Amino acid sequence: MKLLDRYILGKFLTTFCFAVILIVSIICIIDLTENLEDFLEKQAPWDIIFFQYYLNFMPYLANMLSPLMAFIAAVFVTARMASHTEIVAMLSSGMSLRRILVPYLVGSVVVAIGIFYITGWLIPRANRERISFQQVYMEENSVFYGNNIHMKVGPDLYVYLGGYSSDVQVGTQFTLESVNPEGMTSKLKCPRVKWDSTKKAWHMDRYQVREFDKNGKEKFWMAFDKDTVIQLTPNDLAQNGQQYSSLTLGELTDYIERLKERGAENIEPYIVEKYKRYAYPFALIILTIIGVIVSSRKSREGPGFQIALGFLLAFIFIIMVLMSDNLANSGDMPPIVAVWLPMVVFSGIGVYMYRKVPK
């Protein structure tokens, strides 16, 4: 890289890191202020607060803010250079805008690679520690209540639960059906099942079974006190944001396939989360390039105008991402389309702005 490339790259990365550290520090201070009462009430040790909670909370915040901070850093650095006529000098010397974009592109790609790693592997492991801390010392115990749950737990086994509560790990109206291509072979019904963490099984106080042979004859009996071991645990039932946020990329992929095999419903949030981990780094690169383009012209209003315009575009991008996520989670839009649609739209905006900006 040439001296000018190193100059721009250094300014961009320095501003980006400073912005991330500053905003993350402010958020952590605000979070400490809000949760200090809980920490004191539950006598949380300060070393655990820092090392188990905040040290694992910071990567999550940094990752969430990184595309916006990269955008702001690109706008701030380029707008200052434009206001000092440095961009004009570069263009006058024969450099094209495409050439000026090179150090920004290199810097954003380096950051994006880091973001892909921490999103796929580092943050899920950190979230496990953070969630464990929250469940002990903060009033954020996640309780899942499910109704009309249908799942496939084996090649020919299907489970139905009329209701399930994760705080007591109890299911109601439990039904276990064995179905082959010829039809149903057995059906077990139990009014209440409870998870036994010691035996890793579901305990039934009383239950009834109906069996069907090939000739259509039926056998029926009732029994008491039985533990049944099936490929279904409380973690499989408690489908919430904390669960998939603590899964690495490989674990998330395997879990989605397992849910599909079981015929589980409402798996769109998991699929959206998977695609977002691939798309997030590209969002950082796209927003960085748009930030440079929108602020590369010297404006009479000064750099403040470009920065304000940059914030507006970033705000529109965030709103579009949130709307797409909601549509995907509700099943109104395919997850892959919902995740990549904002990237495609803003890539088009970037190409349009690049063609219009003086070079």
Question: What does the block give as tokens for 90?
Answer: 């570069």
Nearest to 358 by CA among 105, 107, 102, 100: 100
The 10 Å Cβ neighbour count of residue 197 is 9
Distance of CA 56 to the CA centre of its chain: 15
Q: What is the model's pLDDT at position 217?
A: 82
Query: Contact 350/289 with Cβ under 8 angstroms?
Result: yes
3-state secondary structure of 198: coil
The 10 Å Cβ neighbour count of residue 256 is 18
Q: What is the model's pLDDT at position 134?
A: 82
60: region left, alpha or beta (phi > 0 left; psi from -120 to 50 alpha): alpha
Q: What is the model's pLDDT at position 242?
A: 52
Q: What is the model's pLDDT at position 241?
A: 44
Q: What is the model's pLDDT at position 251?
A: 86
Please write the tens of the pLDDT for every residue from 116-148. Answer: 999 999 999 998 888 888 878 875 555 666 777
Tell if the pTM clears 0.85, that is, is over it: no
Angle between helices 249-262 and 123-137 (to 10 degrees): 80
The C-alpha atoms of residue 283 and residue 359 are separated, in whole angstroms, by 24
Give pLDDT < 50 ranges for the chain.
240-241
Provide the residue count of the chain.
359
Please write the tens of the pLDDT for every residue from 55-81. Answer: 999 999 999 999 989 998 998 899 888
The C-alpha atoms of residue 104 and residue 70 are separated, in whole angstroms, by 10
Q: What contacts 7, CB < 8 A, 6 or more positions away?
A: none
CA angle (271 as vertex; 70, 233 as ends), nearest 5: 125
Query: Contact 77/265 with Cβ under 8 angstroms?
Result: no
Q: What is the model's pLDDT at position 258?
A: 74
CA angle (123 as vertex; 118, 127 as ends), nearest 5: 180
Buried b (16+ CB within 10 A) or exposed e, 19-54: bbeebbeeebeeeeeebeeebeeeebeeeebeebbb
Q: What is the model's pLDDT at position 240?
A: 47
